[in-house]
Structure 1
């Protein structure tokens, strides 16, 4: 996931240096669309992967193939909707995102291309999840990192030697899943996989089960886009394009941090689901403890790096040397990322509940942090404390949701461990 998040981070760095603050603002306005497409892929992949792993370790091989077939069918259906939106609605979507005339064209290029490349993003996410759950996490990781590295290289080539502008940046992002799937392909071509496409009757219950298990992953991704969208609107009203550009630095770095926590969750999910399917309750408990310990250690390292590196981090994305942008970004980095341990706890706990087929608390946690609390918190704190309130909205929200998650864990929701 850290490798996959470099899609956006590489775009941000190269766009900021090649196209300046206007390009950075356009990219930040378009990121919610990428988050939604990527989130839908994760929803299908994670939801299908959870059910596949549990049924596989219960010896239901035919059922496992049916789950994979449904997941691919869902990916095709979602991709068709995104393709139509890219062909017919990209201009309207960009207008809704708040792009003004100076950045409208760049934003539209990015949005349209992300939607047109959506079949590749969706299929890649499904295959990554199933390969990971099929006993080949190393190949899945290699595919994600390989795709990300290709994106970084192509970003540089398309933006600088080829001077392709925003089209080059999004083209590099769109080609990355092709590289990823090529790396995954030997797992299927050499017949090492235990999942196959089969002819089967479409099941509403199967579809609902896949989507239900993957909804927390969708909300985690989409909420990042929604937060960016809302914050963009608030900052446009308060400080104009400079405020949005400063937030672009923070938002894109936050996607990397979120990806690290999501990666921990995706790492434990196949092992938790298989242990749960086999009835090994103690292993399930220990895996959650290991994941939370790793999250806390990483959070300390990440926040330390942000605190001491705020100035050079902001400067790396401020190619024009704008003092106001630099000041906003430095303050925002130090306040916004106080959320690290709370966000990590929430993401991992949501994945844990979903991986044990107990999706209700996972959905509650994801909805609270993604929509229910963060949106009113952003408006209330920005109205009361200005820019400082904007930066504090996320840590306050994540801390409150972490309290709710801890309550679920301590009160009964331990029943997850005794269900088989």
Structure 2
């Protein structure tokens, strides 16, 4: 496989981005591990209640990055450097504005949000603490996601990966430092997570200040139309990530009524592992995006089809491997996060891994398809995939199936929703012509 081949470039971009996204997802996985060790089942339940808000923040950052990055890449490969610079400037402004809204919510509304998310006497204090800190760091999370996408689209996927991994490793080290030697409890976990994107942006600054960078703030006019044109290619990424938060909030409330805080803690293990698995497919999708947008801008239909086929095959292979590994090693996985040795938690988490993870056999295709369609400005089809898997299928199934099968219905709601969305993915890709 030569260095100039399409396959080499695909696996270079995708491989680097998958590794980086796994690192990025470990922000929360590290919190899950250290919180379970330091605060036990109640702390794990509080973290799982609060983490849905992180999904909303992350979704906003991914929308800014994917949308702005797509428009930037298309303009650059059409030779419109001035327009590309304006896209970068406008996206940075949008990111800062969105971050400011979340910051105000953290300062003013953290207790109200905690109550809405289902926190009770055992979990309220820790949930409020985590929410307040994470929301105050929201501008950093959103700006980091935005800059990661632009640096990747500016031809530096290695530095983008390095920034994500550096932030993640720093989070793990700071989690341990703040929660054990400094005994900061839940605030330590949240503060460590909040500092991670700051450190990541420090690495990205190496590209922004370098001679090869084409990213700079320029003077430009502002209009609602321009904002929509930037955000629309990122809407599918926003809904994909937001759906994780919606599902998390909804499942937490349903599980609270079925199995109490122990059930929520068990779901916390499944959900946080699922965040890492989702990050793998998001990594494939984001790695594909610069290549797809570049080929689209250059009118290279042959390469476009190859990019999609590589992404689809890779997602299927990885999904099957992840499902097999999760079901083979479930006992060790649960033990890592079950520091109190709760015997009630084990069977719930085991059944969750067994059923819930089957959904990724479909989810991988859905995430890759939606991102690919967005990258080639087929935003309507991408939106259809994302809205089916994020709302139209999962919400009714989540309320219907638990009434029939109890906890099994909770897990199966995700699987069936992704299966239905996969049908929409097949339709969208065929209509776009990428599968022919």
Say whether the fold is shared (TM-score over 0.5).
yes
Residue among 222, 226, 245 paired with 1:206: 226
CA positional deviation for 1:147? 0.4
Match of 1:167 in 2: 187
State the alpha-carbon separation in 1 of the partners of residues 191 and 383 from structure 2: 34
- Partners of 2:91 and 2:57 lie apart in 1 by 15
Please tell me whether residue 115 in structure 1 is matched to residue 117 in structure 2.
Answer: no
Q: Which residue of 2 aligns with 1:340?
A: 360
Provide Cα deviations, 1:210-263, integer angstroms capped at 9, x if missing partner: 111111111111100110100001000011101100000000000000000000
Quote the residue 1:239 is aligned against.
259
The partner residue of 2:53 within 28, 33, 41 is 33
Alpha-carbon offset, residue 417 of structure 1: 9.4
Identify the residue that residue 224 of structure 1 maps to in structure 2. 244
Q: Distance in 1 between matches of 2:211 and 2:400?
A: 55
Cα 1:417–1:234 shift into 2, 3 Å: closer
Instruction: Report the Cα distance in structure 1 between the residues aligned to 2:435 and 2:425, rounded to whole angstroms.
Output: 16
**Separation (CA, whole Å) in 2 of partners of 1:409 and 1:281:** 14
Deviation for aligned residue 1:203: 2.4
Query: Who is 1:305 aligned against?
Result: 325
User: Are residue 152 (structure 1) and residue 172 (structure 2) matched?
Assistant: yes
Match of 1:183 in 2: 203
Q: Residue 413 of structure 1 corresponds to which residue in structure 2?
A: 432
> Which residue of the partner structure matches residue 100 of structure 1?
120
Q: Secondary structure at the match of 2:96?
A: helix
1:325 and 2:353 matched: no
- The TM-score with structure 2 as length reference comes to 0.94
Task: Please give the alpha-carbon distance, in whole angstroms, between the structure 1 residues aligned to 2:312 and 2:152.
Answer: 21
Flag structure 2 segments of 5+ consecutive residues without an equivalent.
1-20
Q: Is 2:309–2:435's contact at 8 Å kept on the other side of the alignment? A: no
Tell me, in whole angstroms, the C-alpha distance in 2 between the residues paired with 1:324 and 1:317: 13
CA deviations 1:16-53 (Å, max 9, x no partner) are 11100011000000011101011101101110000000
Instruction: Tell me which moved more, 128-137 or 294-303.
Output: 294-303
Q: Which residue of 1 aligns with 2:108?
A: 88
Q: 5+ residue gaps in structure 1?
A: none
How far apart are residue 378 of structure 1 and its match? 0.9
Deviation at 1:408, TM superposition (A): 2.3
Query: Could you tell me which of 216, 225, 236 is aligned with 1:196?
Result: 216
Shift of 1:78: 0.5
1:195 CA displacement = 2.0
Counterpart secondary structure, 1:199: coil
Between the aligned partners of 2:389 and 2:209, the Cα distance in structure 1 is 41
1:366 maps to 2:396: no
* Residues in 1 aligned to 2:105 and 2:305: alpha-carbon distance in whole angstroms: 43
Shift of residue 191, structure 1, vs aligned partner: 2.6
TM-superposed deviation, 1:56: 0.3
Structure 2 CA distance for aligned equivalents of residues 82 and 235 of structure 1: 27
Correspondence for 1:356: 376
Question: Normalization by structure 1: what TM-score?
Answer: 0.97
Aligned residues: 416
Shifted more, 179-188 versus 58-67: the winner is 179-188
Other-structure match for 1:293: 313
For 1:304-362, what per-residue CA distance to the aligned partner results, in whole angstroms no more than 9, with x for missing partners? 11011111111111111111101100111011000112000000000000000110010
For the Cα contact (< 8 Å) 2:382–2:428, is it kept in 1? no
Task: Name the counterpart of 2:162.
Answer: 142
Deviates more, 1:71-80 or 1:50-59: 71-80
The corresponding residue for 2:144 is 124
Once superposed, what is the RMSD of the aligned Cα atoms? Answer: 1.1
Contact persistence 1:284–1:417 (CA under 8 A): no
Counterpart-to-counterpart distance in 1, 2:120 and 2:211? 51
